[in-house]
A = this chain, B = another copy of it.
């Protein structure tokens, strides 16, 4: 069995070896650029980790692992156009370098390339692997479910910006669609391609889904309470853009009338000193004790995730790397 870091190396090698040199160059160059920006490669690695619970020839599903990574990068590319973002991982976004139209069209091609990779039959060691066509069809269905869900999550995210009545439950469903679904499906696809029992594939899906929710809530938490020297992003970004996170929505729910009024004043303020707004909102967060509430929610989701993992019909030893991965993901500070 390969460790997380060994699988990560394999994925990074495979991404670097991905042939995107077709013509016209102006279509494929932005794709190569976006894929070269790096990232944690969590989705393909999770897929390979689920696969190797059952089979060791992880190289044979590398096209499908790359499909997930290509798809994920496609969403970043189009999201950056929609968000008018300037930078991605320290470098200018595709639409800043090549323009909006190139970003739209190259993104479209990237989504198609992801589907092409999903259906690719990899030859390993010069031998043609005839994967069970039903397993491949099931994996493809899971992939489509995930990709469509991510679009839905993105649309909810956009809708929520204009709404003032978003509930905590709606926020949780939005991040489930936008973030967790793809993580869960990465694991499920790995299991499906390995021919695992469908109950295992489902349990792995739920493990990934709960982990994804915990991860996103932790991201929201770090945005407010993270160590600015480690976090990587500027602290308080969500507060400044009034992002309707679990913490903001829960605080509005838990606050007393004066606290709620003050919070609403900050949400509606047109002109303010950014540092003052961050400090003021954080003071209300502290007053209602939202940090603890959020940490407990993350803990509960983490426990649920591990409980899902424990129902997968493999030995505790085999599941150890996934358990370890979960611990590492939740102990992060950045």
Q: Does A134 contact B (CB under 8 A)?
A: yes
A105 to B116 CA separation, bound complex (whole angstroms): 20
Least Cβ distance of A35 to chain B in Å? 16
A155 to B23 CA separation, bound complex (whole angstroms): 9
**Closest chain B residue to A177, Cβ basis:** B24
Chain A interface, >50% SS class? helix
**A104 close to B81 (CB less than 8 A):** yes
**A119 close to B144 (CB less than 8 A):** yes
**B108 close to A151 (CB less than 8 A):** yes
Report the copy number of this chain in the oligomer: 2
A152 to B115 CA separation, bound complex (whole angstroms): 16
Q: Does A101 contact B (CB under 8 A)?
A: yes
Least Cβ distance of A298 to chain B in Å? 26
**Closest chain B residue to A101, Cβ basis:** B82
Digitize A105-118: 1 where CB-to-B-CB distance is under 8 Å, 0 elsewhere. 10111011101100
Q: Does A156 contact B (CB under 8 A)?
A: yes
Q: Within 8 Å CB of A148, what residues of B?
A: 109, 112-113, 116
Q: Within 8 Å CB of A108, what residues of B?
A: 78, 107-108, 111, 151
Which residues on A are within 8 Å of B, measured CB to CB?
Answer: 22-24, 26-27, 78, 81-82, 100-101, 104-105, 107-109, 111-113, 115-116, 119, 133-134, 136-137, 140-141, 144, 147-148, 151-152, 154-156, 158-159
